[in-house]
Chain A
Amino acid sequence: GAGVSQTPSNKVTEKGKYVELRCDPISGHTALYWYRQSLGQGPEFLIYFQGTGAADDSGLPNDRFFAVRPEGSVSTLKIQRTERGDSAVYLCASSPYGGGGDTQYFGPGTRLTVL
């Protein structure tokens, strides 16, 4: 079946601009996760959705970052007033239930470059 998809695959923007990154999870998965991966580092947790609600947003670095999942399926990560330090690959994952023993399946990521 179809895996997790993310659009766009690449996004180049200018410092100070607003961007939206989209994630389409595996159909039927109730849990959705966003991670950020900087060059040479492992992915870093940002936020976890259980259904429509953010169950844990402790990884969001500051209030410029926001994510929504209004219908419990597609999610959008929104970044306001982008900074050069936001340049990274943004990864999305989904899992069936979100509990212990639940496997996360990752998308290919969106590479964000802030000039």
Chain B
Amino acid sequence: DAKTTQPTSMDCAEGRAANLPCNHSTISGNEYVYWYRQIHSQGPQYIIHGLKNNETNEMASLIITEDRKSSTLILPHATLRDTAVYYCIVPWGGNQFYFGTGTSLTVIP
């Protein structure tokens, strides 16, 4: 069952920040939010995950609202290589991922 809602597609200018939103209004208190991306013909690539606090790593930042019903993935300086499908996932069951169709991000030169 889908636990997340994402826009189908987004564009971002090269060098600008890409902000990808995700709604997960039914998330429960101990469920994590994961972000993956998939570049054409490759396996999904882990980006970041979080529970309550905002997180940052070398790839991106994850901002989770205080009520945890939504989050935003931020790619601070988008490059052409960031063009991909981005998936926001809240695992169900033990650790099963439901990917949905994600957001297709196109970085424009």
Binds B, one of A12-20, A37-45, A64-72, A78-86: A37-45
* A100-B31 contact given A45-B96, A45-B97, A45-B98, CB 8 Å threshold: yes
Are A100 and B91 interface neighbours, CB within 8 A? yes
Identify which of B34, B46, B97 contacts A43 (C-beta below 8 A). Answer: B97
**Roughly how many angstroms separate A103 CA and B32 CA in the complex, as a whole number?**
10
**Does A108 sit at the interface, judged by CB under 8 A?**
yes
State how many angstroms separate the Cβ of A113 from the closest Cβ of chain B. Answer: 14
Residues of A within 8 A of B85 (CB): 42
Are B46 and A103 interface neighbours, CB within 8 A? yes
Residues of A within 8 A of B98 (CB): 45
**Does A101 sit at the interface, judged by CB under 8 A?**
yes
**Roughly how many angstroms separate A58 CA and B94 CA in the complex, as a whole number?**
12
A75-115 CB mask vs B (1 if < 8 Å, else 0) is 00000000000000001010100111111111111000000
Count of residues in A whose CB is under 8 Å from the partner chain: 30
Are B43 and A104 interface neighbours, CB within 8 A? no
State how many angstroms separate the Cβ of B99 from the closest Cβ of chain A. Answer: 3
**Roughly how many angstroms separate A47 CA and B81 CA in the complex, as a whole number?**
31
Besides A33-B95, A48-B93, 13 more A-B contacts (Cβ < 8 Å) are A4-B43, A31-B95, A35-B99, A42-B100, A56-B93, A56-B96, A91-B44, A98-B95, A99-B95, A104-B46, A104-B97, A106-B36, A109-B43
Chain A interfacial positions (CB closer than 8 Å to B)? 4, 31, 33, 35, 41-45, 48, 50, 55-56, 58-59, 91, 93, 95, 98-109
Chain B interfacial positions (CB closer than 8 Å to A)? 30-32, 34, 36, 42-46, 49, 51, 85, 87, 91, 93-102
